[in-house]
Structure 1
Amino acid sequence: MKQRILAVVVMLSLVASQPAFAWFNGGHEIVAYIAYQRLNPATRARVDGLLKLNPMYARWTVDVENSRKPLFAFMMAATWPDCIKQASCEPGYTSDGGNTPPGQPTDDQNIGYADKLMHQYWHFVDTPYSAGASGQPPKTPNALTEIAKLSAAIATDESDDIKSYDVVWLEHLVGDIHQPLHATSRFTIDHPQGDAGGNLVFFCNLPCTDELHAYWDGLFGDTPTQEQISENATALLRHPKPAGTESLDVQAWVTGSFDFAKSAVYIAPISQDNDPSVKLSPRPNAPYRSQANRVANEQVILAGYRLANLLNTKLK
């Protein structure tokens, strides 16, 4: 029993210390690429100027042709909120409570790049999926509350420094919330406190960390080339414009992702997670991956269109 308790403690500590990524860089850059093509000229010019205020702009655009710098910066900006979790990328940021809001006034502050908190808890909203155990309401602030807050902020006369920060976060969070496992936590007998958006659904024994959340994050690759991003995003833009692209109802976005979590993520061969004798989940098979790819494509297209519509509508 002591060994099992220790194993659970170690597992939970690993998850608590892991950054909550979504789509990895590939997915976020595809969302941004799609959105940039849908920005109207005035919004695009405004965004181009705001992104120059990001402290990493020079690094993003070094050796990039002048004509490609605006698009490239917009794509890189979509990855910045994940980047600041890594000292090798952007030092000086503090993890204030990890994936759990510490309950401080700074949790949802909006002060621009002077804010050196990682705000890891902004990246998701744990809508409870009760599949064997009673769920718990999501903690706040979260992706839902922050998208709403930052969307309102960019429509005001706030300073450009803060507005730049808000646009970068919105780029990222709109992508995040369209990853189904960033919109839910499944509550089961094996994980009565929730599975942290699939982070606790392991496919192999520790110290291996191959798990369900990372599987979905990686569907578009971690560090694809810009040629691959352009090719994939261009192909997705050829798809018919999906329904719901004009919606600015963030709760509806969350609900859509949550529904996909139930219908396309937590399905066979993924473990139902209600048998304590079953420690690991079977890995996704070919039919599962085929459906996962279809859902992921639909979601990044929606995210791109919705991000563009949000900025076209709100950005002042």
Structure 2
Amino acid sequence: MRRAWFLALLTALPAPALAWDGTGHMMVAAVAYDRLTPAARSKADALLRRNPDYASWVANVAPADRARAAFVHAATWPDDIKGRHGYIAASEDPNAPAAMRITGYADRQEHREWHYVDIAFSPDGKRVNPPPKANAQAMIVAMRGVLATADRTADARSYSLVWLLHLVGDIHQPLHAAERVTAEMPDGDRGGNSVHVCTTSCGHNLHAVWDDILGQNLSMDAVLAKAKALPAAPAPAAAKTDPAAWAQESNALARSVVYAPPVQAEGQNFQLDMAYLQRAEAVAQSQVALAGARLALLLNTALR
């Protein structure tokens, strides 16, 4: 049955993606929701009601379950707006101060540069550049501050909340915190998006494999069940509050696990075997559980 599950996963893997699949992000939020204080839950729900998609998140949901459903769905909003009419895909200069402004829902930029902090490394000693200033790590710090500041507008705090639900998940995806620079790709591999791999067929990329390893397009009930089945995050690790440390942990996982054989330093269309994919699933489960625990601590602190 396990082999059949993996074969079904592999045949469904998509073209290049930009974040954990919605399933992974919703699982992070589900783990976090169960660890929130009653006060944080109440404040989060009040802020999420300001999001333009709130009505769709709770449509056909029983009143007692609406707060949880909205919280879990909200974790996908920064991906949901990609390509949506009225939003601007073109990124601003990520090193300009304006790229980090947090105003609220009147901001129609998609801010794709906020989803990752690609800490470059080179296995063969190539020169690497630091990440741009507007990145997932920096925005988590900035938005955590907005959320915790009572005199910021409710709109800006709501906007920060939905982004935090998403970005804490993003920064725990190893390929959102790493970019490999080689002689073949001196400008970097775009977090694995430029590394082509094969599973049951070719035409996939390494980033997309990791994004979707936990499943795709699952129902709310299936997401909640998968979240409850995750191994609990170790308490010492869950207590770490520094996004820079989170990014470094993800970067280390990318180096030691993501780019491990059968992925090589040069070449394309590496054949990913069952052992590699099982390791990837185990790492993804651990990272999602850890992200959920850390997200809960962040929100309990900011919303107390």
TM-score (norm 2): 0.89
CA contact (8 A) 1:182 1:197 kept: yes
TM-score under structure 1 length normalisation: 0.86
1:248 and 2:241 are equivalent in the alignment: yes
Q: Which amino acid aligns with 1:292?
A: A
Which residue among 42, 46, 59 is the counterpart of 1:45?
42
Q: Distance in 1 between matches of 2:170 and 2:37?
A: 23
Q: CA deviation at 1:80?
A: 0.2
Task: Confirm whether residue 283 of structure 1 aligns to residue 275 of structure 2.
Answer: no
8 Å CA contact 1:101, 1:140 repeated in 2: no
How much does 1:61 deviate?
A: 1.0
Matching residue within 266, 281, 284 for 1:293? 281
Q: Does residue 186 of the first structure (1) align with residue 186 of the second (2)?
A: no
Mapping 1:294-313, distance limit 5 Å: 294-313=282-301
Partner Cα distance (2:257, 2:94) in 1: 32
| 1:228-264 alpha-carbon deviations (Å, 9 max, x no partner) | 111111111x536443111111111001101100111
Q: Alignment partner of 1:53: what SS?
A: coil
Q: Does 1:226 align with 2:214?
A: no
What residue identity is the alignment partner of 1:270? V
Could you tell me whether the CA contact under 8 Å between 2:17 and 2:211 is conserved in 1? no
Q: Sort the Cα spacing of 1:234 and 1:102 in 2 relative to 1 into closer, same or farther, 3 A.
A: closer
Contact 1:183–1:254 at 8 Å: present in 2 too?
yes
Partner of 2:120 in structure 1? 128
Identity among equivalent positions (%) equals 42
Given the alignment of the two structures, is residue 269 of structure 1 paired with residue 257 of structure 2, yes or no?
no
Deviations 1:209-244 (A, max 9, x none): 5100000000112211122111111111x5364431
Equivalents in 2 of 1:115, 1:51: separation in Å?
Answer: 16
Question: Is residue 151–residue 170 contact of structure 1 (8 Å, CA) maintained in 2?
Answer: yes
Residues 1:247 and 1:168: Cα distance change in structure 2 (over 3 Å): same
Give the C-alpha shift of residue 109 in structure 1.
Answer: 1.1
2:103 is aligned to 111
Deviating beyond 4 angstroms after TM superposition, the runs of 4 or more aligned structure 1 residues are 102-105
Contact 1:185 1:198 in 2 (8 A): yes
One-letter amino acid of the counterpart of residue 129, structure 1: F
2:24 aligned with 1:27:
yes
Cα deviation for residue 103 of structure 1 reads: 4.7
Cα distance in 1 for partners of 2:292, 2:121 equals 26
State the AA in 2 paired with 1:285: D
- Contact kept, 8 Å, 2:17 with 2:207, in 1: the verdict is no
Residue of structure 2 equivalent to 1:80:
77
Change (3 A) 1:94 1:303: same
CA RMSD of aligned residues (A): 1.7
Indicate conservation of the 8 Å contact 1:20/1:120, yes or no: no
Aligned to 2:197: 203
8 Å CA contact retained: 1:19, 1:120: no
Q: Which runs of 5+ in 1 are unaligned?
A: 1-17
Q: C-alpha displacement at 1:21, in angstroms? A: 2.3
- Aligned partner of 1:13 in structure 2 is none
**Secondary structure of the residue that 1:197 maps to in structure 2?**
coil
Q: Which residue of 1 aligns with 2:143?
A: 150
Amino acid at match of 1:75: V
